[in-house]
Amino acid sequence: MLYLISLGLWDEKDMSLRALEAGRKCKKLYLELYTSPWFGSRKELERLFGKPIELVGRQKLEEGISGLIEEARKTDVGILVPGDALSATTHLSILAEAKRQKVKARVIHGSSILTAIAESGLSLYRFGQTVTLPKDGPKKSFWDAVRKNLRAGLHTLVLLEPGLGLERALKLLKLRRPLVAGCRFGGETLIRYGRPSKLKELGDCQPAVLVIPAKLSFYEEEFLSILAKE
C-alpha cells in the first residue's frame, strides 16, 4: 500500500491523528520538502513515527516513481508531504502512476494554505483561480488569471515559488494597489493589508503568500483593518 501522508501547514503538530497512525504502520517512510516550505523537524517526525525517515529530493521522487511504486506493492510505504498531499502536481502523478500499476494507494489529508488564507477575513467563496509566482517573474498566464478573477469580482491567491521571499515577490509584481500579505500560517500567523511599501514591514516572515483582492466587502475591509492593529 502507498500512503500519501499530509503533514499540514506549519510543523509536525499539524498532521492528523490519521496521518500519525498511517505513518506508524508504514515499513518505509520518505519525506519530501521541496514542493512547499515546512517548519517542523525530521528528528521530531522520526520520534513520533518511531522509525527512520529518508529525505527525498525531486530526482528520486520524479524519476524514481516506478521504484517507489514497486516497493509499495510489497510493503506499506509512506510519502510525507507538507500541506495537503495533492496540492503539488508531483504527488498527483505518483498517485496516478500507482493506480495505473494497480498498487493500492491512500491519501491522508491535511491543512493547506488554500483554505487557511481565510484567516485574512477574506471569504473562501470569493476566490478565483490560484496562481503561483515564479522566481523569474510573472508570465502572461499569471496576469490572464488575475485579470479574469478581478473581472469576475474574485480574489487571487498568489503562492510564491519555494525560495521566493515577500520583498522580492512584491518587486516582481510591480503593483501599486493594496494587497493582502500573510505569513507563518499554522504557526504565529501574521497578516497585513496595504500598499506594497506598507507590506514590507512583514520583513522576511516565512512562508508568505499574497492575495490580489477584488473589491473588498465591508466585512473583509473591517477584518483586515483589525488585523493591522494586532
Cα–Cα distance, 92 to 51 (Å, whole number): 26
Helix (H, G, I), strand (E, B) or coil at 223: helix
CB of 29 to its own copies, least distance (A): 17
Q: Site for its own copies (CB under 8 A): which residue of 42, 51, 73, 109?
A: 109
Which C-beta is closer to its own copies: that of 11 or that of 167? 11
Residue (of 38, 209, 203) closest to 118 by Cα position: 209
Helix axes 89-100, 65-74, angle to 10 degrees: 50
Nearer of residues 38 and 196 to its own copies, judged by Cβ: 38
Cell numbers linked to 49: 513515527
| Residue 38 binds its own copies (CB under 8 A) | no
Q: Judged by CB under 8 A, which of 3, 84, 158, 209 binds its own copies?
A: 84
CB 199 within 8 A of CB 166: yes
Min separation Cβ 132 and its own copies, Å: 8
206 makes contact with its own copies (CB under 8 A): no
Calpha distance 218→207 (Å, rounded): 28
- Choose which of 68, 130, 180, 207 interacts with its own copies (CB under 8 A): 130
Q: Pick from 210, 167, 174, 170: which is nearest to 192 by CA?
A: 210
Interface ranges with its own copies (CB under 8 A): 6, 8-9, 12-18, 20-21, 84-87, 89, 92, 95-96, 99-100, 107, 109-112, 114-116, 118-119, 121, 123-132, 145, 148, 152, 154, 185-186, 189, 219, 222-223, 226-227, 230
